Amino acid sequence: MHNQLEIPLSLIQILHRAGRVTVLTGAGISAESGVPTFRDAQTGLWAQYNPEDLATPEAFRRNPQLVWEWYAWRRDLVSGVEPNAGHRALAELEQRLPMLTLITQNVDGLHQRAGSRRVIELHGNLFRTKCLEEETLVETWEDRGEIPPRCPRCGAWLRPDVVWFGEMLPTAALREAETAALSCDIFFSIGTSTLVYPAAELPLMALRSGATLVEINPQPTPLSELADFSLRGPAAEVLPMLLP
């Protein structure tokens, strides 16, 4: 018998009374849309590839074509999937609750496609491209058949506007995320292994500021024993159960 996960009534009451809700999502919320996570055994991207070969500035300088094509493959993959019930439930909660701030580590843009409006992208977005040298966004460029393509302004290589290992997070986004973590009544950590900092610090900041901490993840994480509520289930099943 499929054990239907129960949402404690006390959590429902806290959520529906909460003035300010902050949510942090990771790759797990997109898993049920068919987008691979990073660290799930066998199916995670890092089980098949080596992050050092693909998701670092050194990897790009060493083999820009390989890195550009890997992100192009991820863009194609994400373009072919749909947001799931978990993404949609968060967009619905943003409409229903007085103040919900959504912080995501994901670069797939699925929260926005599901209708979420206030989305803080800590790690950038696959569908934005920037100049390697100028660091400014580039919307269009001439396709000269060169991979990676070059910046129309300065001729340097173009790169995805995503955060690579060893790179700083976008300052404004991180500051906004920290403010939202420090000033909320309830903080949800959804679909993240909470292994990558500084994003993983956000739930701890919320906890220290007195927020109720809720984790939604089918697996335990280092955060699980600190959370006030640890809902051990998939986001697309659990999140719709929180809707008023």
Q: Which residues lie near ligand OAD (CB under 6 A)?
A: 26-29, 31-32, 37-40, 44, 55, 105, 123, 163, 191-193, 195-196, 216-219, 221, 234-235
Nearer of residues 128 and 150 to ligand OAD, judged by Cβ = 128
Nearer of residues 38 and 157 to ligand OAD, judged by Cβ = 38
Is there a contact between 178 and 197 (Cβ–Cβ < 8 Å)? no
Tell the smallest beta-carbon distance from residue 68 to ligand OAD (Å).
16
Nearer of residues 147 and 196 to ligand OAD, judged by Cβ = 196
123 is catalytic: yes
| Residue 226 amino acid letter | L
Tell the smallest beta-carbon distance from residue 211 to ligand OAD (Å).
20
**Dist CA 30 CA 191 (whole Å):** 8
Q: For residue 5, how far is the Cα from the chain centroid?
A: 24
Tell the smallest beta-carbon distance from residue 154 to ligand OAD (Å).
26
Alpha helical stretches, state H, the chain: 9-17, 28-31, 45-48, 51-54, 57-62, 64-79, 85-96, 110-114, 171-182, 201-208, 235-238
Nearer of residues 19 and 198 to ligand OAD, judged by Cβ = 198
Token pair of 101 as six digits? 């701030």
Virtual torsion, Cα 41, 44, 48, 49, nearest 10 deg: -130
**Dist CA 137 CA 160 (whole Å):** 9
Tell the smallest beta-carbon distance from residue 142 to ligand OAD (Å).
29
Known catalytic residues? 123
